[in-house]
Structure 1
Amino acid sequence: MSVEHTEHDGPLIPKPALTLPALRQAVATVAPSRLPEFFEDMQKAFVQAGEQGSVVPIRMFYRHWGVIVEIERHPQIARRLHEAEQALDSEHPAVRDGAIREAGEIVRAAHREVERG
Protein backbone atom coordinates (compact mmCIF):
# COMPACT_ATOMS: atom_id res chain seq x y z
CA MET A 1 0.00 0.00 0.00
CA SER A 2 1.43 3.37 -0.92
CA VAL A 3 0.72 6.70 0.69
CA GLU A 4 -0.25 9.55 -1.57
CA HIS A 5 1.84 12.63 -1.03
CA THR A 6 0.42 16.06 -1.55
CA GLU A 7 2.36 19.16 -2.42
CA HIS A 8 2.10 20.19 1.25
CA ASP A 9 3.77 17.13 2.77
CA GLY A 10 7.08 18.96 2.99
CA PRO A 11 7.92 22.42 4.21
CA LEU A 12 6.33 25.36 2.40
CA ILE A 13 9.63 27.25 2.43
CA PRO A 14 13.25 26.41 3.25
CA LYS A 15 14.35 27.02 6.82
CA PRO A 16 15.24 30.71 7.04
CA ALA A 17 18.35 32.11 8.65
CA LEU A 18 17.78 33.71 12.03
CA THR A 19 18.16 37.22 10.66
CA LEU A 20 15.63 40.02 10.57
CA PRO A 21 15.17 40.07 6.76
CA ALA A 22 14.93 36.27 6.48
CA LEU A 23 12.49 35.91 9.36
CA ARG A 24 10.35 38.83 8.18
CA GLN A 25 10.07 37.25 4.72
CA ALA A 26 9.33 33.82 6.21
CA VAL A 27 6.59 35.18 8.48
CA ALA A 28 5.11 37.09 5.54
CA THR A 29 4.98 33.83 3.60
CA VAL A 30 3.85 31.23 6.17
CA ALA A 31 1.92 33.35 8.70
CA PRO A 32 1.14 36.76 7.18
CA SER A 33 -1.59 37.45 9.75
CA ARG A 34 1.12 37.42 12.42
CA LEU A 35 3.24 40.21 10.86
CA PRO A 36 1.87 42.88 13.23
CA GLU A 37 2.81 40.66 16.19
CA PHE A 38 6.25 40.10 14.64
CA PHE A 39 6.89 43.84 14.32
CA GLU A 40 5.58 44.54 17.83
CA ASP A 41 7.87 41.84 19.28
CA MET A 42 10.78 43.22 17.25
CA GLN A 43 10.20 46.72 18.62
CA LYS A 44 10.05 45.41 22.19
CA ALA A 45 13.23 43.36 21.71
CA PHE A 46 15.21 46.31 20.35
CA VAL A 47 13.97 48.61 23.14
CA GLN A 48 14.89 46.02 25.78
CA ALA A 49 18.30 45.54 24.18
CA GLY A 50 18.93 49.25 24.37
CA GLU A 51 17.73 49.49 27.96
CA GLN A 52 19.78 46.48 29.05
CA GLY A 53 22.83 47.21 26.93
CA SER A 54 22.61 43.60 25.77
CA VAL A 55 21.89 41.72 22.55
CA VAL A 56 20.16 38.90 24.47
CA PRO A 57 16.62 40.27 23.89
CA ILE A 58 17.32 40.41 20.14
CA ARG A 59 18.66 36.86 20.12
CA MET A 60 15.58 35.72 22.06
CA PHE A 61 13.36 37.47 19.51
CA TYR A 62 15.12 35.69 16.63
CA ARG A 63 14.84 32.34 18.37
CA HIS A 64 11.17 32.82 19.27
CA TRP A 65 10.23 33.70 15.71
CA GLY A 66 12.50 31.00 14.31
CA VAL A 67 10.45 28.47 16.29
CA ILE A 68 7.15 29.94 15.06
CA VAL A 69 8.35 29.80 11.45
CA GLU A 70 9.70 26.27 11.93
CA ILE A 71 6.22 25.15 12.97
CA GLU A 72 4.25 27.20 10.43
CA ARG A 73 6.38 26.20 7.45
CA HIS A 74 5.12 22.61 7.95
CA PRO A 75 1.33 22.81 7.38
CA GLN A 76 0.52 19.45 8.99
CA ILE A 77 2.52 20.27 12.12
CA ALA A 78 1.02 23.76 12.32
CA ARG A 79 -2.47 22.26 12.01
CA ARG A 80 -1.74 19.81 14.83
CA LEU A 81 -0.49 22.63 17.05
CA HIS A 82 -3.51 24.84 16.33
CA GLU A 83 -5.87 21.92 17.02
CA ALA A 84 -4.07 21.26 20.31
CA GLU A 85 -4.34 24.94 21.24
CA GLN A 86 -8.09 24.84 20.60
CA ALA A 87 -8.43 21.64 22.63
CA LEU A 88 -7.04 23.48 25.66
CA ASP A 89 -10.53 25.01 26.02
CA SER A 90 -12.15 21.59 26.37
CA GLU A 91 -14.14 20.89 29.49
CA HIS A 92 -12.64 17.37 29.59
CA PRO A 93 -9.39 17.12 31.58
CA ALA A 94 -8.09 14.19 29.50
CA VAL A 95 -8.53 16.21 26.29
CA ARG A 96 -6.74 19.21 27.82
CA ASP A 97 -3.91 16.98 29.11
CA GLY A 98 -3.47 15.43 25.67
CA ALA A 99 -3.46 18.86 24.06
CA ILE A 100 -0.78 20.09 26.47
CA ARG A 101 1.40 17.06 25.66
CA GLU A 102 0.88 17.45 21.90
CA ALA A 103 1.62 21.18 21.90
CA GLY A 104 4.66 20.68 24.12
CA GLU A 105 6.08 17.98 21.84
CA ILE A 106 5.60 20.15 18.75
CA VAL A 107 7.18 23.24 20.31
CA ARG A 108 10.12 21.29 21.79
CA ALA A 109 10.81 19.65 18.41
CA ALA A 110 10.74 23.07 16.73
CA HIS A 111 13.18 24.45 19.32
CA ARG A 112 15.54 21.52 18.68
CA GLU A 113 15.36 22.11 14.94
CA VAL A 114 16.10 25.83 15.32
CA GLU A 115 19.05 25.00 17.62
CA ARG A 116 20.49 22.70 14.95
CA GLY A 117 20.48 25.59 12.53
Structure 2
Amino acid sequence: MTATASESPLIPQPPATVTALRQAVAQIAPAALPSFTRELDQAADQARLGSDLAPLRRFTTQWALYVQIQRQPRLATRFRELEGLVEVGDAAQVRAAAAELGRILDIAREALAQDQS
Protein backbone atom coordinates (compact mmCIF):
# COMPACT_ATOMS: atom_id res chain seq x y z
CA MET A 1 0.00 0.00 0.00
CA THR A 2 1.36 3.43 -0.87
CA ALA A 3 1.00 6.43 1.37
CA THR A 4 -1.00 9.40 0.22
CA ALA A 5 0.62 12.81 0.25
CA SER A 6 -1.01 13.63 3.59
CA GLU A 7 0.41 10.42 5.08
CA SER A 8 3.93 10.94 3.77
CA PRO A 9 6.45 12.45 6.16
CA LEU A 10 7.06 16.15 5.54
CA ILE A 11 10.82 15.65 5.69
CA PRO A 12 13.20 12.72 6.07
CA GLN A 13 14.20 11.93 9.65
CA PRO A 14 17.37 13.90 10.29
CA PRO A 15 20.38 12.58 12.17
CA ALA A 16 20.20 13.14 15.92
CA THR A 17 22.56 16.09 15.96
CA VAL A 18 21.76 19.49 17.38
CA THR A 19 22.23 21.23 14.03
CA ALA A 20 20.14 18.77 12.02
CA LEU A 21 17.37 18.69 14.64
CA ARG A 22 17.30 22.50 14.84
CA GLN A 23 16.92 22.70 11.06
CA ALA A 24 14.15 20.08 11.11
CA VAL A 25 12.25 21.84 13.90
CA ALA A 26 12.59 25.16 12.06
CA GLN A 27 11.08 23.55 8.98
CA ILE A 28 8.23 21.48 10.44
CA ALA A 29 7.41 23.18 13.75
CA PRO A 30 8.93 26.67 13.91
CA ALA A 31 6.81 27.58 16.93
CA ALA A 32 8.80 24.98 18.90
CA LEU A 33 12.17 26.67 18.25
CA PRO A 34 12.12 28.74 21.48
CA SER A 35 11.57 25.53 23.50
CA PHE A 36 14.29 23.78 21.53
CA THR A 37 16.76 26.59 22.26
CA ARG A 38 15.79 26.89 25.93
CA GLU A 39 16.10 23.13 26.49
CA LEU A 40 19.40 23.00 24.59
CA ASP A 41 20.79 25.76 26.81
CA GLN A 42 19.65 23.90 29.92
CA ALA A 43 21.16 20.61 28.70
CA ALA A 44 24.45 22.33 27.84
CA ASP A 45 24.59 23.98 31.27
CA GLN A 46 23.86 20.67 33.01
CA ALA A 47 26.48 18.90 30.92
CA ARG A 48 29.05 21.57 31.71
CA LEU A 49 28.30 21.60 35.44
CA GLY A 50 28.34 17.82 35.71
CA SER A 51 31.16 17.21 33.21
CA ASP A 52 28.83 14.65 31.67
CA LEU A 53 27.31 14.42 28.19
CA ALA A 54 24.17 12.60 29.38
CA PRO A 55 22.02 15.77 29.44
CA LEU A 56 22.92 16.49 25.81
CA ARG A 57 22.20 12.89 24.83
CA ARG A 58 18.80 13.10 26.51
CA PHE A 59 18.14 16.37 24.70
CA THR A 60 18.96 14.96 21.25
CA THR A 61 16.96 11.80 21.93
CA GLN A 62 13.92 13.80 23.08
CA TRP A 63 14.02 16.12 20.09
CA ALA A 64 14.67 13.30 17.62
CA LEU A 65 11.46 11.69 18.94
CA TYR A 66 9.65 15.01 18.62
CA VAL A 67 10.76 15.38 14.99
CA GLN A 68 9.92 11.74 14.24
CA ILE A 69 6.33 12.42 15.31
CA GLN A 70 5.93 16.00 14.05
CA ARG A 71 7.16 15.23 10.54
CA GLN A 72 4.06 13.03 10.10
CA PRO A 73 1.08 15.42 10.03
CA ARG A 74 -1.69 12.97 10.91
CA LEU A 75 0.34 11.41 13.70
CA ALA A 76 1.30 14.83 15.05
CA THR A 77 -2.35 15.90 15.06
CA ARG A 78 -3.37 12.74 16.91
CA PHE A 79 -0.53 13.21 19.40
CA ARG A 80 -1.73 16.76 20.19
CA GLU A 81 -5.32 15.52 20.55
CA LEU A 82 -4.19 12.90 23.04
CA GLU A 83 -2.14 15.43 24.98
CA GLY A 84 -5.27 17.55 25.22
CA LEU A 85 -7.28 14.61 26.55
CA VAL A 86 -4.66 14.02 29.22
CA GLU A 87 -5.14 17.63 30.32
CA VAL A 88 -8.96 17.75 30.41
CA GLY A 89 -10.33 14.22 30.16
CA ASP A 90 -11.96 12.13 32.84
CA ALA A 91 -9.96 9.34 34.47
CA ALA A 92 -10.82 6.73 31.81
CA GLN A 93 -10.00 9.12 28.95
CA VAL A 94 -6.71 10.08 30.58
CA ARG A 95 -5.69 6.42 30.97
CA ALA A 96 -6.60 5.59 27.38
CA ALA A 97 -4.89 8.70 26.02
CA ALA A 98 -1.76 8.06 28.07
CA ALA A 99 -1.61 4.48 26.83
CA GLU A 100 -1.95 5.59 23.20
CA LEU A 101 0.68 8.29 23.69
CA GLY A 102 2.99 5.61 25.07
CA ARG A 103 2.39 3.41 22.03
CA ILE A 104 3.12 6.30 19.67
CA LEU A 105 6.35 7.07 21.52
CA ASP A 106 7.36 3.39 21.47
CA ILE A 107 6.80 3.22 17.71
CA ALA A 108 8.79 6.44 17.23
CA ARG A 109 11.66 5.03 19.32
CA GLU A 110 11.63 1.83 17.28
CA ALA A 111 11.72 3.82 14.02
CA LEU A 112 14.68 5.85 15.27
CA ALA A 113 16.51 2.72 16.35
CA GLN A 114 15.99 1.21 12.89
CA ASP A 115 17.28 4.41 11.25
CA GLN A 116 20.46 4.17 13.33
CA SER A 117 21.17 0.55 12.43
Count of aligned pairs: 114
Say yes or no: does 1:22 pair with 2:20.
yes
| 5+ long unaligned stretches in structure 1 | none
1:12 touches 1:30 (CA, 8 Å); kept in 2?
Answer: yes
1:63 touches 1:114 (CA, 8 Å); kept in 2?
Answer: no
| Matched residue, 1:54 | 52
Letter in 2 for 1:18: A
| Matched residue, 1:93 | 91
Alpha-carbon shift at residue 5 of structure 1 (Å)? 5.4
Alpha-carbon shift at residue 98 of structure 1 (Å)? 1.3
| Matched residue, 2:41 | 43
Measure, in 2, the Cα distance between the counterparts of 1:49 and 1:75: 33
Superposed CA RMSD: 1.7
TM-score under structure 1 normalisation?
A: 0.89
Which of structure 1's runs of 4+ aligned residues deviate more than 4 A?
none
Measure, in 1, the Cα distance between the counterparts of 2:55 and 2:102: 23
Largest Rg, 1 or 2? 1
Residues 21-60 of structure 1, C-alpha deviations (whole Å, 9 max, x = no match): 1000100111111000000010011111111111111111
Percent sequence identity over aligned pairs: 35
| 5+ long unaligned stretches in structure 2 | none
Measure, in 2, the Cα distance between the counterparts of 1:29 and 1:100: 28
